[in-house]
Amino acid sequence: MDKSESKDEAYFDVLGDRMIKVTQNESGIVKVTVLDMVSDDECYIDVCSIDGMQVFTEPHAGVETVIDLSTRAKGIYILRVVVNETQTTWKITKP
C-alpha cells in the first residue's frame, strides 16, 4: 500500500474529523476501519484495478469493512474511502 506498503501493519490517515485505519495481510484481505465514526456519518468505500475496473464497492460502509482481494490478480489497486463527502485514496499492492 502507498501511504503503506505492508503485510500486516496498520496505516492511518485523517479524513475530516475521522481517523482511517487500513491493514492488509499477505493473502489480499484489506480491512478499512473508520475510527470515531458516529451514526450520522456517511461512508462509501470502493476499490478499482489500475485499469479502472471497479472490483469492490460498499456504498453504506460501517466502522469496519473487510475487502477480499484474495481471488484477484496480483497487481496494484486503488482504494477510495469517502466519509461525509471528504475522500482519501490509497494504492494497494496485492502480492
The pLDDT tens digits of the residues spanning 70-94 come to 999 999 999 999 999 999 999 999 9
Q: Could you report the per-residue pLDDT of 11-68, keeping only the tens digit for each?
A: 999 998 999 999 999 889 999 999 999 999 999 999 999 999 999 999 999 999 999 9
| DSSP per-residue codes, 16-45 | TTEEEEEEE-TTSEEEEEEET--TT--EEE
Q: For the whole model, what pTM was predicted?
A: 0.87
**Grid coordinates representing 66?**
473487510
Q: Which amino acid is at 88?
A: T
